[in-house]
Amino acid sequence: MDVFSPSKRRKVMQAIRGKDTTPELLVRSMVHRLGLRFRLHGQKLPGKPDLVLAKHRSVIFVHGCFWHRHDCKLAATPKTRPEFWSAKFRANVERDQRVKAQLEKLGWRVVEIWECETRRAETLELRLRQEFAERLGPSTTAAQASRP
């Protein structure tokens, strides 16, 4: 069920599409701040991962919650044309799974960051620190320093 009215849904969809690259930019800058080296868009790799951390044999995909069906409120299904949407969503999810399996078979670690995880810098930083814990030095962030 859609939590938005049709007109509101249109606005939300436009916003999602328009800001397409923002979550990716946020992830890039945070990965950079953490001192991890990366390349963009691994053209030769399955699914062209958004970030490629060759040294760590890791790739990062930044997924929009709506298109890639994250289990969160950004991924509400539009009320109109349910068959159209469910086919589209299914294709996206299946492609994500296929690409992930291919990359893992090639020995890559696949990290998927969701759009909603990029909205708060602290959340994103903690998430990336957890993913790359063994590569990073001791944390000096405010978020971690305030932990008991």
> Where on the chain is the footprint of Zn ion (CB under 5 A)?
65, 70, 72, 74, 114, 116
Query: Between 3 and 54, whose beta carbon lies closer to Zn ion?
Result: 3
Whole-angstrom Cα distance, residue 133 to residue 18? 33
Query: Between 69 and 79, whose beta carbon lies closer to Zn ion?
Result: 69
The distance of closest approach from Cβ of residue 3 to Zn ion in the complex, given in angstroms and rounded to an integer, is 14
Query: Between 16 and 136, whose beta carbon lies closer to Zn ion?
Result: 16
Query: Between 54 and 72, whose beta carbon lies closer to Zn ion?
Result: 72
Whole-angstrom Cα distance, residue 22 to residue 33? 17
Question: Are the C-beta atoms of 59 and 110 separated by less than 8 Å?
Answer: yes
The distance of closest approach from Cβ of residue 72 to Zn ion in the complex, given in angstroms and rounded to an integer, is 3
The distance of closest approach from Cβ of residue 25 to Zn ion in the complex, given in angstroms and rounded to an integer, is 17
Question: Would the CA dihedral through 75, 68, 22, 147 be positive or negative?
Answer: positive
